[in-house]
Amino acid sequence: MRKSKKLLSMTGRFVFIVGILLSAYGFAMFQGGKVSWTIFYILFPFILYSIALFVYPMNTITAERKILTKNIENGGKLTVTVMLKRRFSFPLLYTIVTEKWGSHQIELRAKNKSSYLFVFGMRKQVEWTYEIDRLPRGQHITEGIHIELSDFFGWIRKTAFIPLRESIIVFPKTVPMNYMSLDAQYDRGAIASPFTLIKDTTMATGVREYQAGDRVTWIHWKSFARTQNLMTKEFEDRQSEDLLVVLDERASEQFEEQIELAASLVKEAIQQQANVSFISVGEHKVEYPFIHSAEQLHDLLVHLAKIEPVESPPHSMDWTPSMRIGGSIVFITGSPDWEILQSLGGATRANSSIICFVVVGEGKRVPKSLSERISYARMKGVKIITLRKTQFANAFREEAM
């Protein structure tokens, strides 16, 4: 239907131009005189160009896009370069190129930045760069490039859409954290340790042959340079921590801050060589049992970028992992209800080391109902810490409030 209207409109414009040409020629023939022929000769080049533009093939124009900004975080800036090419030269005048986004929110943020008006002229290649500020977290789709051509007076307007679909991931913003081990696991039993994990693994007492599964950071490169055999460092007390991070996906006023805290915590724990697992609970329960490599961390950050808040989950909030994962648990939420607090209390009685981070608004008081639930959970032995965004860096050192 839309193509039919477009074809009808173009046909009508062409008939209008031909009508002007015949009218001017007829006026000059029957009226005669210098003035009437002058009018005809003035209009003739413009009409001839409009007819040439009418038959100009739009499919000869191709487009390329380059994303100049890599790893964009929430609130960051996106820089894009769009390049138009064509196979042969033709004098194109007013050209409007617009980047079409699938998200109305991005369209509003881009405003007029994603549109470009220029005179193509005889050039075979044109490019322009635009920026979009304060991108929100999420997956944003750019559908393609819309091109509109016009003659001198707007008699002929031709449009074309070049599909150029591309997905842009805006990751959650992360902040550096002063990470501390919650429950360091030794080879025999579990004891509380005030040291961070990275300190414990720097106390090498010897080397041994490399075995499958050894961390790359434990390889003794000096021995490898001398013998060409991979050797692994041995530690007097080789220490590691199993850490499970659970994110509550239910809607809250501080949902974006919850995502930011979860991403920052996981990233910092992995840098400190912890054995990290992750669970997000919302519409569905999504599990990342073991996160060791940079690729696995990237997959998790993509998941966190795409998460949308859930108003009311269709099932009970079962956050327990499907496979046995020992060690410490960090639960991140914005508004813990009685069901969540009771489940945390049960996990605490099972000798698990648990911290529940409740993210609250900056400069806002904790609601009375939430304070009552927090007091109840603390009576059950659950360690709950209320955090504001400015406290994320020292989350593990904050006093319970």
Q: What is the DSSP string of 166-177?
A: EEEEEEPP----
- Bin 355: left if φ > 0, else alpha if -120 < ψ < 50, else beta: beta
DSSP letters of 237-292? T--B-EEEEEEE-B--TTHHHHHHHHHHHHHHHHHTT-EEEEEEESSSEEEEEEE-
Phi, psi of 243 (to 5 degrees): -125, 125
Contacts of 400 (CB under 8 A, 6+ apart): 378, 383, 384, 385, 386
Q: Give the Cβ contact number of residue 232 at 10 Å.
A: 19
pLDDT in tens, the chain (401 residues): 566 666 667 777 888 888 888 888 888 888 877 888 888 888 898 999 999 998 899 989 999 999 998 889 998 999 999 999 998 889 998 999 999 998 877 888 887 788 899 999 899 999 999 999 889 999 999 999 999 999 988 888 899 999 999 999 999 999 988 877 665 433 334 333 433 444 345 556 667 777 666 676 777 777 777 777 777 776 554 455 788 899 999 888 899 999 999 999 999 988 888 888 999 988 888 999 888 888 999 999 999 999 999 887 656 677 777 766 667 889 999 888 877 887 777 777 665 678 889 998 887 777 887 888 888 888 877 888 889 999 988 887 754 44
Q: Rounded to an integer, what distance in angstroms lies between the CA atom of residue 273 and that of residue 270?
A: 5
Please give the span between the terminal C-alpha atoms of the chain, in angstroms, as a whole number.
Answer: 63
Tell me which residue of 328, 255, 246 sits closest to 288, measured CA to CA. 246
